[in-house]
Structure 1
């Protein structure tokens, strides 16, 4: 019997502009950060490369500290770059992303704002031929009404809009993979937050 393989073989996690200074302005910012923490934990278990950006860091500040990017014991992104463009696909990040190889990847996008930077990042990745997942319980905007409009547009453009837990299980694809037990433990650890984040960010 062949060894089990993951369903998504070349995933990458893009974290867009989750900066401390945005906390008071963004609808349910803490929920977006919470889901992103869960995905970062998964990235460590499943060895998924992480890419992050800040928007005009000198003016708008650093990435919020609870994500632990670049911190001792935290996640070291392949790129953690500052930008003025709205899309994350700026030259410095693109250069590091291309080091993964020429194959098309399954990119999961989280962060802010849904209708601006998340949208333009997703459109650029789709244009480059990647499969893009936008995590509905990990994106938001200043005005909450912008979010469903943005997600509807991105679905129409060809992105997959899904939940964090759905994406994690799709990423694994098989309960027999070596990392499943640790992942299942992590999912259980975040289960209360997952429910609360879905209720706050994904109201039907």
Structure 2
């Protein structure tokens, strides 16, 4: 695999996963950081909708942690929502079946908590042969130290560290298109 195939996202190969951005879990997060996370996940959801890239939401123990934030769900109303009890999303067969059936090999990861569900999912996705792009400004933990350690571990495991704007412009590839004109406004 070439460097470009590893480090550059391709709209024909990519899928977006939003891990456990749920009502009650969000209440435990730093408000300012949560605002940045939801803004960035929202930008990514709008971008992939425009580019026809599949989205998958996961929700950890909905009875206790609530549903995914409504403001995010409304940006991808048709996207599957998978409830889980395992920390890794890969622990529920439907998650892996959905990804494999999509034919997508590049997985864009967002969500929480970075050092628990995100970390375990990324490691298992890498083990399963997926290229993982970890959107550092769209994942969070209650404690910044936990976030930092987890990001480092995922990078060592082969996840590509990235940010919301990099994802957006890699998926767009060129300026001047209708999609570029519409989506570039999201990051101004």
Q: Which residue of 1 aligns with 2:150?
A: 150
1:195 aligns with none
CA gap of 1:183–1:154, structure 2 versus 1, over 3 A, is same
Deviations 1:140-196 (A, max 9, x none): 1111211111111111110011111011111222225552222223333xxxxxxxx
Q: Indicate the structure (1 or 2) with the bigger Cα radius of gyration.
A: 1
2:161 aligns to what SS in structure 1? strand
**Length-normalised TM-score, structure 1:** 0.80
Partners in 1 of 2:151 and 2:78 — Cα distance? 26
Instruction: Specify the alignment match of 1:93 in structure 2.
Output: 95
Q: How does 1:138-177 map to 2 (within 5 A)?
A: 138-175=138-175, 177=177
Give RMSD over aligned pairs: 1.8
TM-score by length of 2: 0.87
The answer for unaligned runs of 5 or more in structure 2 is: 1-7
| Structure 1 residues not aligned, in runs of 5+ | 1-5, 189-204
Residue 129 of structure 1 deviates from its aligned partner by: 1.1
Partner residue of 2:17 out of 14, 32, 52: 14
Going by fraction, where is helix more abundant, 1 or 2?
2
Distance in 1 (alpha carbons) for counterparts of 2:9 and 2:58: 27
Q: How many corresponding residue pairs?
A: 177
Would the aligned equivalents of 1:122 and 1:159 in 2 still touch at CA under 8 Å?
Answer: yes
Q: Does residue 64 of the first structure (1) align with residue 66 of the second (2)? A: no
**Match for residue 36 of structure 2 among 31, 35, 51:** 31
SS in 2 for 1:145: helix
C-alpha displacement of 1:77 = 4.6
Give 4+ residue runs of structure 1 displaced > 6 Å after superposition.
none
